[in-house]
Structure 1
Amino acid sequence: MTAMVPPRHLVLRSPAQRVALRLPLRALVILALLTTALIVLTVLSLATGSYGVAPGEVWETLRGMTVSRAIDNVVWEFRFPRTLAAALVGAMMALSGAVLQNATRNSLADPSLVGVSQGAALAVVTMTVLFPAFSGGLRPWIAFAGSILVALAVRSLSHTSQGGSAIRFILMGIGLSAFISSITSALLTYGEIDRAMTALSWLAGSINAASWTDVRTLAGWTAVLLPSLLLTSRAMSAMQFGDATALGLGAPVALTRNLQLAIAVGFAAIATSVVGPLGFVGLIAPHAARRLAPAGMGLHLLLTGALGALLVLFADLVGRAAFAPVQIPAGLITAVVGVPVFVVLLIRSRPANAS
């Protein structure tokens, strides 16, 4: 049964009245618009490239009709997996940033800023340069191990006897990221040239080599991590008011925070292991979602994921089409957009009495 109360909210109740959801209409409309934009951008991505394909031909091909063998090959084997990988990676990085910001109560937290992405990158580069015989199927697990180690290190180093500090957390993350990046650079400098070039291309955050195997990896992990994240959304909402209030409301704070850390690291590590580091997506998307439509934590996470998918898909499309036939990695586009946003957020986060 569905009822409208008050005018700006939609209330959904189960038949037995055991479960009720009160959803802001504006957030639902924005989510529908973002979904529509994703569909439109997907069609444009499938039609754009060195081999021109009309949107109508794309639609016919997706319906299973063969316009030509060449178009079938271009759409199904190259552009479609690349497009899906871009959207999934964007959503995963955005959700990772949103979860990190909630767990640390730090609006500047981002996988690429606090070293999570760099830990995954170092683990994958080490495997590529020093142990190339290892199977590519191990890459997500190795990336996850590197990310979780860095996340635990940053969390322990930023914690003091008086508790955690937002600025200390960011500074520790940036410092550890620089240290990890220097080790990665040393591996690229002194490793064998062919292995180093393979790792360097991956580090740029390029999605042009994404395959259906990568799409299956990203989709499989998303199907596991996203429901787990949504199940913790109620506790995450309580934690926004502080640990004491959350404990008073009955939220398992310690368990939820540890689970959040594991989910955030999982999202960032899997995405990084497939396409390389993508900076600032996890910083921009949660803030943009909050400004577009304030909502409860569950709906906010869905908005954040949709915005992240849209951002990376757009970055990949721009990098592919702006200077064709030269292709610019999506990671460079997101960094160009993300650095000014980070500076603005950093300035706004300063205390009013700071000099």
Structure 2
Amino acid sequence: MTDFAVSYFGGRVSLRFAKGVPFAIAALVIAVIVVGITSLLAGSYDLAVWDIPALLSGQGDKTALTVLWDLRMPRFVAACLVGGLLAVSGALLQGATRNPLADPSLVGVSQGASFAVVSLIVLWPNVSIWARPIAAFAGGVCAAMLIQWLSAGKRGENSLRFILVGIGVAAIISAGTSALLTYGQINRASSALGWMAGSVHTASWGPCAVLAICAALCLPALIWVVRPLTALRFGSELAIGFGLPVGRAKFGVITLAVAMAAFAVAAAGPIGFVGLLAPQMAQRLTRAGVGAHLILSALGGAVLVSAADLLGRTIAAPIQFPAGLVSAVVGVPIFVLLILKRANSSQL
């Protein structure tokens, strides 16, 4: 398959990607649209597909407008933003560590962010909700730094060791979170426990705006990390030969990955395995460079979380299962298969 290249401004800005990339992007966009329309129609209040254009333009029954714009639309938008942030976070972690098993929920990042947010809810409930992303980022960074330090070995990098250390640290942090939920004031603990389920069912336009702002702030940094990640694909030694300051590059990429995961966790709680599944799905759709891979991962994450939320609220209606539970049911078997495959060719 040949590559396709375009350039702008006299060659100062150029894009090069495999010809299969636009088709993969189009397929994922169509999948997002299909899941979105289904999400807007599904529920106890019936909406017809031919009513959607009028309702989107603000015309129609007042109750239908309220259901669409105040309940279902922000829920779908939040699911897409959370899924995109978690997926790109996973793709960045996998690229920086050269580890296809890396995922914010598996290597302690989501657990560190969750512990920080639960601490705010249980111990300092009067703190502004705007403090959650900051606390989640701090908790995620601390967890990521601890895992990097503990997994560093004398024989260099080891992907499986990184994963196993991350799982152990995540378990310890989760134990601390459980202690807060067990011994905290019952009302505060109940609120934190509902958030811990990982769901977007209470999403409103406020959190959607915060997520959109966070994603927009991360976009320039995402453009910057494309080149370092491209060099890191060849390994640390070759990247050093290319003139890349590997230590600083990895620190920047991992920090950005932690920030994106923290923003998503602060808004919707921990939703596991999205950062693992979406990049793997993007990689299997088509051959792509780092930039295209990040775009495909973001779209795949939006599809996964929005579909998980749709399935969770319709499979046993009126009972609603959180998206985090659905993603775990799907993600655990795939993770086991991947780690077994990895173990056959790696040594601890």
**Under a length normalisation based on structure 1, what TM-score does the superposition of the two structures give?**
0.95
Q: Which amino acid aligns with 2:241?
A: G
Structure 2 CA distance for aligned equivalents of residues 289 and 89 of structure 1: 17
The 8 Å contact of residues 116 and 150 in structure 1, kept in 2 or not, is answered as yes
- The equivalent residue for 2:125 is 132
Question: Residues 86 and 162 from structure 1, CA distance in 2 versus in 1: closer, same or farther, beyond 3 angstroms?
Answer: same
* Superposition deviation, residue 15 in structure 1: 4.5
User: Contact (CA 8 Å) 1:8, 1:26: kept in 2 or not?
Assistant: no
1:9 aligns with 2:3: yes
> What residue in structure 2 maps to residue 187 of structure 1?
180
Is contact 1:8-1:25 (8 Å) kept? yes
Q: Which amino acid aligns with 1:281?
A: V
Q: Distance in 2 between matches of 1:170 and 1:90?
A: 22
Q: 1:41 aligns with which of 35, 38, 41?
A: 35
Cα offset for 1:230?
2.3
2-structure distance, mates of 1:275, 1:260: 23
Q: Deviations over 1:8-33 (max 9, x none)?
A: 43220225133432221111111011
1:53 match: secondary structure? coil
Partner of 2:319: 326
Could you tell me how far apart the structure 2 residues matched to 1:140 and 1:38 are? 26
Counterpart amino acid of residue 41 in structure 1: V
Match of 1:203 in 2: 196
- 1:20 aligns to 2:14 (yes or no): yes
Structure 1 residue 286 displacement after superposition = 0.8
Q: CA deviation at 1:123?
A: 0.7
SS at structure 2 position matched to 1:23: strand
After superposition, where does 1:228-247 map in structure 2 within 5 Å?
228-247=221-240
Q: Which runs of 5+ in 1 are unaligned?
A: 1-6
Q: How many residues align?
A: 348
**1:4 corresponds to which residue?**
none
Separation in structure 2 between the aligned mates of residue 20 and residue 149 of structure 1, nearest angstrom: 37
Query: Runs (4+) of structure 1 moved beyond 6 Å?
Result: none
Cα offset, 1:350, TM superposition: 2.0
The C-alpha deviation readout for 1:53-109, integer Å capped at 9, x for no partner, is 1122122111222x1110111111111111100000001111111101111111111
State the distance in 2 between where 1:35 and 1:168 align: 36
RMSD over aligned Cα atoms = 1.6
Secondary structure of the 1:324 match is coil
CA distance in 2: counterparts of 1:321 and 1:49, whole angstroms: 7
Q: More displaced, 337-346 or 42-51?
A: 42-51
Q: Tell me the alpha carbon deviations over residues 217-237 of structure 1, each in whole angstroms, 9 at most, x when there is no partner.
A: 110110111331122212211
**Does residue 1:169 correspond to 2:148, yes or no?**
no
Distance 1:353-1:110 versus aligned 2 partners, 3 A rule: closer
- 1:225/1:267 contact within 8 Å kept: yes
Give the letter for the 2:181 counterpart. Answer: L
SS in 1 for 2:319: coil
Letter in 2 for 1:198: S
> Displacement, 1:160?
2.3
Deviations along 1:279-333, one digit per CA (max 9) or x if unpaired, are: 1000111111111111000000000110000000000000011111110000000
Q: Shift of the alpha carbon at 1:352?
A: 4.5
SS in 1 for 2:15: strand
CA distance in 2, matches of 1:194, 1:233: 45
Q: SS at 1:163's partner residue?
A: coil
Amino acid at match of 2:42: T
Of 284, 297, 302 in structure 2, the residue corresponding to residue 309 of structure 1 is 302
In 2, Cα distance between equivalents of 1:173 and 1:17:
43
Find the aligned partners of 1:313 and 1:238 in 2 and give their Cα distance.
33
- 1:62 counterpart = 2:56: yes
Which residue type is aligned with residue 205 of structure 2? W
Aligned to 2:328: 335
Counting only pairs closer than 5 Å after superposition, residues 211-290 of structure 1 correspond to structure 2 as 211-290=204-283
In structure 1, C-alpha distance between the alignment counterparts of 2:323 and 2:301, rounded to whole Å: 13
User: Secondary structure of 2:182's match?
Assistant: helix
More divergent stretch after superposition (77-86 vs 248-257):
248-257
Do the aligned partners of 1:87 and 1:309 also contact (CA within 8 Å) in 2?
Answer: yes
Scaled by the length of structure 2, what TM-score is found? Answer: 0.96
For residue 112 of structure 2, the aligned residue among 109, 119, 129 is 119
